[in-house]
Amino acid sequence: MERINRWRAHGGWQEVWRHDSAETGTPMAFSIFLPDTEGPRPVVWYLSGLTCTWANVTEKGDFRAACARHGLILVAPDTSPRGDEVPDDPDGAYDFGLGAGFYVDATQAPFARHYRMRSYIEAELPALVGAQFPADMERQAITGHSMGGHGALTIGLRNPGRFRSVSAFAPIVAPGDCPWGQKALGGYLGPDRADWAEYDACRLIEAGARLPALKVDQGAADGFLESQLMPERLREACSASGQPLDLGLHDGYDHSYYFISSFMSEHLDWHAAHLTA
């Protein structure tokens, strides 16, 4: 791996690293905040949304003060493979292809070779972080925004025992029932909806998957609330299955990082309570 940038912040180091990924077959970059605390530190994974890279939350997320206070490492990966050889949406749309990997392992040509974000996030990157940094891989949490909230929920649900807590900001909770998800899952996985179920948080919960702690915050003024996000679907799935859920709906807040940064510290305080218990 190669460190490509580094800044001093909040009594720690904000770094950006690049490495060649075996899963995606491309160079991949991620940011990592390393607080100045002794010994192995708990890890929080942050997965970003459509069109984003590692830079969005790193520059606008307001997470470093809370991470420094609790001694948390925060890792923010990219949202898709990138490069001239990586296929993109043929129409140049923002919601498929580059910047829109949806945290799946694609099975459909021409995307199957490079779009392996599930395996990258679930296996390859954690192994690299655990080997390179003072990370306590027995104490992990995961969060994310929008498409990244979908990633955080589904990765958490598919990996019982790995994460002590899971949260999300404005997540896509039922991608099989919204335009963003239908386009992405159909394009990456094909038309058989049975193949989509493992990438759908509501369906995973309905099938018996569980999380030890789940927190979701959503802006009530989010323009995507009813058409793409549908948090009530998650509430219904959790209520019917007995999955505990802390769901907050906040007047006036939209889908932007103004919303995320307003509640980031609260989420990290919540994760820290679970990671240090």
- Does residue 80 sit within a domain? yes
Ranges of residues in the chain with a pLDDT under 50 are none
* H runs (alpha helix) in 192-256: 201-206, 231-241
Q: What is the chain's mean pLDDT, rounded?
A: 97
- Does residue 22 sit within a domain? yes
According to the model, what pLDDT value does residue 83 have?
96
- Does residue 116 sit within a domain? yes
- Does residue 218 sit within a domain? yes
Q: Partners of 45 in the beta sheet?
A: 75, 142
Structural domain that includes position 152: 2-272
- Does residue 118 sit within a domain? yes
According to the model, what pLDDT value does residue 27 have?
98
In the chain, how many domains are there?
1
Span 167-221, pLDDT tens digits: 999 999 999 999 999 999 999 999 999 999 999 999 999 999 999 999 999 999 9
Write the CA distances from 198 to 148, 153, 156, 273, integer angstroms. Answer: 15, 11, 11, 29
pTM > 0.85: yes or no: yes
C-alpha span between 182 and 52 (Å, rounded)? 20
- Does residue 210 sit within a domain? yes
Q: Do the beta carbons of residue 107 and residue 196 sit within 8 Å?
A: no
- CATH assignment at residue 102: 3.40.50.1820
Q: Do the beta carbons of residue 165 and residue 159 sit within 8 Å?
A: no
According to the model, what pLDDT value does residue 95 have?
98
- Does residue 277 sit within a domain? no
Q: Mind telling me the catalytic residues?
A: 146, 222, 255
